[in-house]
Copies of this chain bind each other. A is one copy, B any other.
């Protein structure tokens, strides 16, 4: 047993009271929105069998999985040859479980295991931590929360419209006003790949185009040339990269450019249907920005793609999602399509801190501190405390008689807005002094008056 100074593992965090209060403010906005739209909660375990996780996130993802050592004598059944053939070979024999890397694969596993009990369409949300053995850096942690909502078992574009409504509702609740929801459709990208004569290189096209914002059109074209895109393809692609203007103008441009592309036209029609649903919802300003170059690297998406960026803050996307046509095929259950999206809580937290958007009362936990002057007045103070709590006022007493300054300091540090002063005089007069810590005002009041004043405080 060591007496060394304890430390946190690399890339992991504690969330103390103030951070917890702010994080819960964000989680509450997300959770209540998901539920208002009919999504139900699901939680899956921290650990999954590695047979479930491995091979789902590409070579790089596999290497970022945290693996859990088998219990007991995990080396029994291994040989010195397993050891000498190296870490990867040995780990398949000594670690059969890993920490979940995202919420999608465990969700797919849940759907497959419960397919006989689920009624489709199934609308689930999931707010849980995931783990990645990534190199930690500013804003990137090894343990972080994902907040996913998915509808599976329907192709209805109402779902896409509702995702846009939910994004807008969450940001409204959080007080984030200046943001864009970029929208595109994988079929439009398929159409572009076809129109430029490179239909089989859709993945390479998406990977390159995804970097447009970061590296600019010239570098994107350079990358495509290294991927053996033909000269004609490069020439044909240029107009797509330059399409600009408001949504109507962009839409008209793309319609013209993709006039003879079947998938392209289908992608455009889907986007127009979503706009029409949003109009039926009377959604008002929906913050949509049609961007035919939005690609999002994931090969997984097959229809609509969405990505939210907050303007004037240098942080990546804070929410994203899209439609997929095969959630569970990898587990032997084909044909489950759906659409889902996710909020990045850590980034939203940073945005809100940067813009100063957390309401002042977010980190108020206790409403009132009852002071503890001396043993003589303590019973009266405790009686009042009991009455405050009976009225559902969040309240506490300083647990032992102490100097008033110490007790005021406690209230100040804990961000408690009111202090109730109870000493000899107060006990005999049945009138207590309620002090508002924010403006220093003091007022003499009876217990019922205090309860009335604090009940909605």
- A residues with CB within 8 A of B: 1-9, 12-17, 20-21, 24, 35-49, 51-52, 54-56, 63-64, 66-69, 71-76, 80, 83-84, 86-87, 90-91, 94-97, 99, 109-110, 112-114, 119, 121, 123-124, 129, 131, 133, 143, 151, 154-156, 158-159, 165, 277, 280-283, 330-332, 365-366, 369, 378-379, 382-383, 385-386, 389, 392-397, 399-400, 409-410, 413-414
A69-B68, A91-B69, A379-B280 are known contacts. Are A123 and B40 too (CB-CB below 8 A)?
no
Looking at A45, A55, A84, the one whose CB has the most chain B CB atoms below 10 A away is A45
Chain B residues lying within 8 Å of A4, measured Cβ to Cβ, are 51, 332
> A3-B331, A36-B392 provided; 16 other pairs, C-beta below 8 A?
A6-B109, A8-B48, A9-B96, A12-B46, A16-B114, A36-B394, A46-B46, A63-B71, A63-B72, A64-B71, A66-B68, A66-B71, A158-B400, A280-B378, A282-B383, A282-B386
Q: Are B87 and A74 closer than 8 Å at their CB atoms?
A: yes
Chain B residues lying within 8 Å of A1, measured Cβ to Cβ, are 54-56, 330
Name the residue of chain B whose CB is nearest to the CB of A158. B399
Q: Are B385 and A281 closer than 8 Å at their CB atoms?
A: yes
Q: Are B6 and A112 closer than 8 Å at their CB atoms?
A: yes
Q: Are B382 and A7 closer than 8 Å at their CB atoms?
A: no
A51-B4, A73-B87 are known contacts. Are A17 and B46 too (CB-CB below 8 A)?
no
Partner of A395, one of B38, B42, B156: B38
Name the residue of chain B whose CB is nearest to the CB of A21. B41
A6-B331, A386-B283 are known contacts. Are A35 and B365 too (CB-CB below 8 A)?
yes
Please give me the 10 A-B residue pairs with the lowest Cβ-Cβ distance, nearest first: A38-B396, A156-B399, A17-B40, A12-B45, A1-B55, A71-B133, A20-B41, A280-B382, A119-B413, A83-B83
Least distance between A281 CB and chain B CB atoms (Å):
4
Bound-state Cα–Cα, A48 to B7, Å? 8
A17-B124, A46-B99 are known contacts. Are A158 and B382 too (CB-CB below 8 A)?
yes
Q: Are B45 and A143 closer than 8 Å at their CB atoms?
A: yes
Chain B residues lying within 8 Å of A382, measured Cβ to Cβ, are 158, 277, 280-281
Q: Are B40 and A20 closer than 8 Å at their CB atoms?
A: yes
Chain B residues lying within 8 Å of A369, measured Cβ to Cβ, are 38
A68-B66, A156-B400 are known contacts. Are A46 and B129 too (CB-CB below 8 A)?
yes
Bound-state Cα–Cα, A154 to B401, Å? 11
Bound-state Cα–Cα, A432 to B300, Å? 41
Q: Are A17 and B3 closer than 8 Å at their CB atoms?
A: no
Bound-state Cα–Cα, A393 to B32, Å? 11
Partner of A112, one of B5, B75, B396: B5
Q: Are A158 and B389 closer than 8 Å at their CB atoms?
A: no
Q: Are A66 and B69 closer than 8 Å at their CB atoms?
A: yes
A143-B45, A158-B399 are known contacts. Are A113 and B7 too (CB-CB below 8 A)?
yes
Chain B residues lying within 8 Å of A72, measured Cβ to Cβ, are 63, 87, 133
Q: Are A68 and B71 closer than 8 Å at their CB atoms?
A: no
Q: Are A14 and B43 closer than 8 Å at their CB atoms?
A: yes
Q: Are B366 and A38 closer than 8 Å at their CB atoms?
A: yes
Chain B residues lying within 8 Å of A21, measured Cβ to Cβ, are 40-41
Name the residue of chain B whose CB is nearest to the CB of A396. B38
Chain B residues lying within 8 Å of A76, measured Cβ to Cβ, are 87
Partner of A15, one of B42, B90, B366: B42
Chain B residues lying within 8 Å of A91, measured Cβ to Cβ, are 69, 74
Least distance between A44 CB and chain B CB atoms (Å):
5
Q: Are A38 and B365 closer than 8 Å at their CB atoms?
A: yes
Bound-state Cα–Cα, A66 to B131, Å? 15
Q: Are B42 and A6 closer than 8 Å at their CB atoms?
A: no
